[in-house]
Amino acid sequence: MKLVEKYLKEILGEHALLELSEAKRLGKLPMFINETYKLYTTNLFNHPIMLVEPKNISEFGILQFEKHLQIIKNGFERTVVLVLENVEAFNRKRLIEKGINFIVPNKQLFLPELLIDLRENYKNKSFKQKNQTLLPSAQFILIYHIIHRYEKWKLEDHSFKEIAQKLNYTPMSITNAVENLKYQELIDVVGEKEKHIKFRNGRSELWNIAMQYNLLMNPVLKTVYVDSIPKDVDMLKTNASALPEYTDLNPSKQQYFAIEKTVFYGLQKSNALVNLNDYEGKYAIEVWKYDPLTLVDELPNDMAVVDQLSLYLSLKDSKDERIEMALEQIIEKYIW
């Protein structure tokens, strides 16, 4: 923890002497807390602080941290701060969203209880922060590239025209998507007569960058309800109906399906949706901004469900604890 002391001194000008909490004081906490964390006490600006350092960071997720820190706070009645040696961009974003105090020495100090948010240069200096999400078509291309990592057909090996044909977009839509990805510095365009895209980073880093800079949108345009599903229309399970395929979550009573917006509007126009409304029905239909079917085409599984990354994006703002725990599992299993 000497590194933490040094960091606090450099960034706050405070000499915070960290003291390992005595075993007898830890007796008021559950045994698993003592076995899982090292606890240190100190003061910042005359405010009592408890620093909590995980002994094995790989075993826990954000929800577990949140629960454990609350237990420690209740036991000591101090501001509790999580100390991490490093943290992935998407996990750092979730810690901030949940208002969890944390320190990553030499990188970031986030103490909302003390109204402090100081960070070093996490960001790639050449990366432009645009404060806008990707176009739906650009997000589609990015996610397609990430989840189809083991397929023989690679986006980078084909021309814009071939990509358009493969992904069921118009050439103009692909051109606009490519320009959007290039503008956000996620890709380069290479070649002269026949141009190709070249992703600037590995797949996991692309995801982390996109999450860190809020480039990814919720793919769901809106949710409607019907009493029956039209025949001969392919739909994928989504929301709480898809989570059991990827996680330990039990199936929900409400059945959810995803459909691309132009397909939905065609069904709506032909009156193929029985008792269509915005409130309730046997089936919930999520109208998506891009085609969930094309996105999972040729993936090596037989599950009629949306892809795990779009599913995560559609539910990441949920306040349901069961869904939050399921999303933790998606992060651990599928975000490389």
pLDDT tens string 189-214? 998 888 999 999 999 889 988 988 88
Q: What is the number of H-type helices and E-type strands within the chain?
A: 14, 13
Task: Indicate if the pLDDT at residue 62 is higher than 60.
Answer: yes
Span 140-173, pLDDT tens digits? 999 999 999 888 899 999 999 999 999 999 999 9
221 pLDDT band (50/70/90 cuts)?
Answer: very high
The strands making up 47-54's β-sheet, listed across from edge to edge, are 19-20, 37-44, 47-54, 79-83, 102-104, 108-111, 116-119
Q: What is the reported pLDDT for 124?
A: 45
Under a CB-based contact definition with an 8 Å cutoff, are residues 100 and 63 in contact?
Answer: no
Q: What integer best gives the mean pLDDT of the chain?
A: 87
Query: Looking up tokens 């003061």, which residue turns up?
Result: 43
Pairing between β-strand 37-44 and β-strand 47-54 as defined by DSSP bridges: antiparallel
Domains defined for the chain, CATH in brackets? 2-119 (3.40.1350), 136-211 (1.10.10.10), 220-334 (no CATH)
Q: What is the reported pLDDT for 206?
A: 92
Task: Indicate if the pLDDT at residue 138 is higher than 50.
Answer: yes
Span 14-25, pLDDT tens digits? 778 888 886 556
253 pLDDT band (50/70/90 cuts)?
Answer: very high
Task: Indicate if the pLDDT at residue 121 is higher than 50.
Answer: no
Q: What is the reported pLDDT for 186?
A: 95
Alpha helices, DSSP H, located in 111-260: 136-147, 160-167, 171-183, 203-212, 239-246
Span 259-313, pLDDT tens digits? 999 999 999 999 999 999 999 999 999 999 999 999 998 765 556 999 999 999 9
